[in-house]
Amino acid sequence: MYNKEELCKYSNNIRKNIVKMIAHAKSGHPGGSLSAVDMITCLYFNVMDINHENVNSIERDRFVLSKGHASPLLYAVLAEKGLIPEEELMTFRQINSRLQGHPNMNYVPGVDMSTGSLGQGISCAVGMAMANKLDENNHRVYVLLGDGECEEGQVWEAAMAAAHYKLDNLCAMIDYNELQIDGSIHDVMDPSPLDKKFEAFGWHVIEIDGHDYDQIEKAFEEAKTVKGCPTLIFAHTTKGKGVSFMENQAGWHGSAPNEEQLKTALEELGGNDHD
Ligand SMILES: Cc1ncc(C[n+]2csc(CCOP(=O)(O)OP(=O)(O)O)c2C)c(N)n1
Ligand SMILES: [Mg+2]
């Protein structure tokens, strides 16, 4: 288990790589990548059993990035875990790169599902969790959803099926940053109250601050003890977390920083070195 200081160091480097690769590609989605860094760092370093040796094995936990536009986050975490080379991150969104704008499970080791069409990832995760039950495979399935993504009807079919099939090996997380592509989720198509809705669909719901490592870790631990229903971690987050001028700005959903903005972002994140 990594302590808070170590997790912070990994998260910070992941944030730096996210802004660097998006700036280098001149396209990508920084806001929703940065908001989920703390949860996904904790998941990959302290919760899931994925590593270099078992990456291609069926005998490990699975993660589905249902909000596939946050691919820079997934690639940066995989690099931090040593599953893909860190240098490769700068090929993000280039022709012939394995690291396309939305993740492709056929090319990238550690990518467990190809995603990008919002709503579909959670359905895949439900199928994977059902398969694990049928195979008597005790490994768990984790899935990250955006709050805007929950405006997709398919999410609710998946939520209903997960409860119906008592998938207690499934843990979903909602990155509740309250923004989607064009503005506030409450203005675009209000999906709230998401916690109450998942509860009504038969899920065990845990509400946390998605930037507090103690709360994140406790929630994952609690989820492992829940029997007979799936768990939702409903995480309050800040879109663009860690880069002041990106925080809570819908405009940074899918825009790349220019050279000057990259410099400022990296300064705020403590410089350009891998320390
Ligand atoms: C089915 C589908 N419709 C629309 C899009 C375009 N799109 C990409 S990201 C996004 C907003 C998602 O908002 P949210 O889930 O809140 O993501 P986050 O704030 O975490 O970045 C939209 C509408 C898509 N990828 N898939
Ligand atoms: Mg959002």
Ligand 1 atom with the smallest distance to the CA of 70 is 21
Please tell me if the CB atom of residue 38 comes closer than 6 angstroms to any atom of ligand 1: no
Residue located via tokens 């990259």: 262
**Regarding predicted confidence, which is higher, 275 or 129?**
129
Q: Which strand (E) or helix (H) includes residue 233?
A: strand 231-236
Distance from the CA of 73 to the center of ligand 1, in angstroms?
15
Q: Is the pLDDT of residue 271 over 80?
A: no
pLDDT tens, 175-225?
999 999 999 999 999 999 999 999 999 999 999 999 999 999 999 999 999
Q: Which strand (E) or helix (H) includes residue 172?
A: strand 170-176
Query: Closest-lying ligand to the alpha carbon of 146?
Result: 1
Confidence band, pLDDT 50/70/90 cuts, at residue 275: very low
Q: Is the pLDDT of residue 104 over 70?
A: yes
- The CATH T-level fold of domain 4-268 is Rossmann fold (3.40.50)
Confidence band, pLDDT 50/70/90 cuts, at residue 273: low
Please tell me if the CB atom of residue 177 comes closer than 6 angstroms to any atom of ligand 1: yes
| Report field, pTM of the whole predicted structure over 0.85 | yes
Q: Which strand (E) or helix (H) includes residue 65?
A: strand 62-65
pLDDT tens, 27-83?
999 999 999 999 999 999 999 999 999 999 999 999 999 999 999 999 999 999 999
Distance from the CA of 52 to the center of ligand 1, in angstroms?
31
Q: Closest by alpha carbon to 46, among 237, 227, 218, 269?
A: 218
**Under a CB-based contact definition with an 8 Å cutoff, are residues 122 and 115 in contact?**
no
Domain ranges of the chain: 4-268
Q: What is the mean pLDDT of the chain?
A: 97
